Amino acid sequence: MFNMMKTAILMAAITALFMAIGAMIGGRTGMMLALVVALGMNFFSYWFSDKMVLKMYNAREVDATTAPRFYAMVQELAAKAELPMPKVYLINENAPNAFATGRNPENAAVAATTGIMQVLSERELRGVMAHELAHVKHRDILISTISATMAGAISMLANFAMFFGGRDSEGRPANPIAGIAVALLAPLAASLIQMAISRAREFEADRGGAEISGDPQALASALDKIHRYAQGIPLEAAERHPETAQMMIMNPLSGGGLRGLFSTHPATEERVARLMAMAQGGARGG
């Protein structure tokens, strides 16, 4: 319940930020227009964000005929998690990563790169897909896609404010320095909100994935391996659409500069440590 309240507050904050930039560009009218646009974007995200993200990554749907072992793995884990069978996709990328999307468990999809299937053992891959199904079970995926859409729009709107200026609440031209400040700070603020939404949910998905798979050590091993392999292999689609990075099991963006500072994922070492503590606790309980 606390996590849901926290997420609701953060989503309200990202909408308020969008409205504030709208107010700067067009005064009261701009603020109301931004609110209407935000509501429209949330509606669009609810119905179409999964298709949009899968298209960004050139994901290809697979089934029991085209990818029998992978599909059977997801099927077994979904049954264990008491979830409807999601659609299953493969992404032809060398970078090892995976994500889930969709507006609810009945309309969910899970996707993995071909790179992750080459890098991980079957046991480790099982842990990763259990993590993604935990996101589905916790209904994280809708929040992630809506916040990603809003963050991308905030960056675009902030750039518009910098180049075309804006108006204050009385309709007078705004200070151009303020426009530059907004263009620089608004995307950072949106990233901070995305980070706050995403980090707690990654820890919860790690815990949930370990419970679904019954093998926290395998997920810990997978995270460590993905972290080491992914550093030298860029995920091109994520670099083109950085707002989608929070959906991945591991941050796919180049780690330098502000991107590393505002990472939407917790430190891999901490995630691995928590999972290993779960594994040891289970062993003692056994």
Cα distance between residue 36 and residue 19, in whole Å? 9
Which stretches within 81-139 are classed as H helix?
114-119, 122-137
What 3-state DSSP class applies to 80?
Answer: helix
In order, the DSSP letters of 189-231 are HHHHHHHHHHHHHHHHHHHHHHHHHT-HHHHHHHHHHHHHHHT
Cα distance between residue 110 and residue 210, in whole Å? 17
Chain length of the chain: 286
Composition of the chain by helix, strand, coil, percent to 5: 70, 10, 20
Cα distance between residue 139 and residue 93, in whole Å? 26
Instruction: Sort 35 into a burial class: Cβ within 10 Å, 0-12 / 13-18 / 19+.
Output: middle
What amino acid positions are annotated as catalytic residues?
132
Cβ atoms of 278 and 203 closer than 8 Å: no
Cβ atoms of 71 and 102 closer than 8 Å: no
Cα 143 versus chain centre, distance? 9
Cβ atoms of 181 and 210 closer than 8 Å: no
What distance, in Å, lies between the first and last C-alpha atoms of the chain?
Answer: 30
